[in-house]
Amino acid sequence: EAQVTQNPRYLITVTGKKLTVTCSQNMNHEYMSWYRQDPGLGLRQIYYSMNVEVTDKGDVPEGYKVSRKEKRNFPLILESPSPNQTSLYFCASRPDRTGADTEAFFGQGTRLTVV
Amino acid sequence: RKEVEQDPGPFNVPEGATVAFNCTYSNSASQSFFWYRQDCRKEPKLLMSVYSSGNEDGRFTAQLNRASQYISLLIRDSKLSDSATYLCVVNIGWGGKLIFGQGTELSVKP
């Protein structure tokens, strides 16, 4: 089954404790991205990757890091989480960056709370 | 001004009603357009792409007006199962970046 898998689904952590949210896709997609969703703001792109070892900032990258060592995996790293990073996070993949008309597939989301 | 704007609603309609959602976008470099559906903070899922000629999928009709930078979604004969948030999504340029509207909430009542 074609899917994007995120883990964990729910996480409560304390300020400053490094965490990683994993994302993996089994569709051989080149383009992967991370979004955060906040009430009234919609989904905003954090980082994206057009292929292995190619990553770039989205609209709200501050406080986040990513890596793309393998095509299927695109982890999101919060080195020192703060309460303003409490949000619902989604990983998404698309076949390739030039496929403007292609569907984006989303993971099930990670609900993060930083206290 | 937001790049993609939608009326957040909520739209509360009875079963069987016809409801229309509107969306405007500001970036003229926008290349492709979509409506996604999101249930109760779950992951968004593609409902349909939107083409300049307009397109229909069962009870759903999407239209695009590039000159006015306006997208619409019409749902006919609403079902209880249509209750969800509908996201207007625009692909900017050819780089794959998707810009999301904040979503329009629909609640269909018996």
Kindly report, residue by residue over A41-72, the tens digit of the pLDDT: 889 999 999 889 999 999 999 999 999 999 99
pLDDT on residue B97: 80
**CA triplet B99, B83, A9: central angle to 5 degrees?**
60
Q: Is A103 on the interface with B (CB under 8 A)?
A: yes
Question: How much is the mean pLDDT over chain A?
Answer: 93
User: Cα distance from B32 to chain A (closest Cα, Å)?
Assistant: 6
Average pLDDT over residues A14-18: 97
pLDDT on residue A99: 57
Chain A residues touching B49 at Cβ < 8 A: 101, 103
More confident residue, B37 or A95: B37
Chain A residues touching B24 at Cβ < 8 A: none
User: Cα distance from A107 to chain B (closest Cα, Å)?
Assistant: 6
Residue A48 contacts residue A55 (beta carbons within 8 Å) = yes
pLDDT on residue A97: 59
Best CA proximity match to B98, nearest among B35, B13, B14? B35
Compute the half-sphere exposure of residue B55: CA atoms within 13 Å on the CB side of its CA.
10
Contact: B98, A45; criterion CB under 8 Å: yes
pLDDT band at A86 (very low <50, low <70, confident <90, very high): very high
pLDDT on residue B94: 62
Q: How many residue contacts between A and B have a Cβ separation below 8 Å?
A: 63
Contact: B102, A40; criterion CB under 8 Å: yes
Contact: B44, A106; criterion CB under 8 Å: yes
Best CA proximity match to B46, nearest among B73, B19, B67, B65? B73
Write the burial class of residue B22 (CB in 10 Å: 0-12 exposed, 13-18 middle, 19+ buried): middle
pLDDT on residue B23: 95
pLDDT on residue A62: 97
Contact: A107, B41; criterion CB under 8 Å: no
- Segments of chain B scoring below 70 in pLDDT: 93-95
Integer Cα distance of A44 and B100 in angstroms: 7
In the predicted model, is pLDDT for residue A98 greater than 70? no
pLDDT on residue B53: 85
Q: Is A71 on the interface with B (CB under 8 A)?
A: no
Contact: A100, B32; criterion CB under 8 Å: yes
Contact: A43, B44; criterion CB under 8 Å: yes
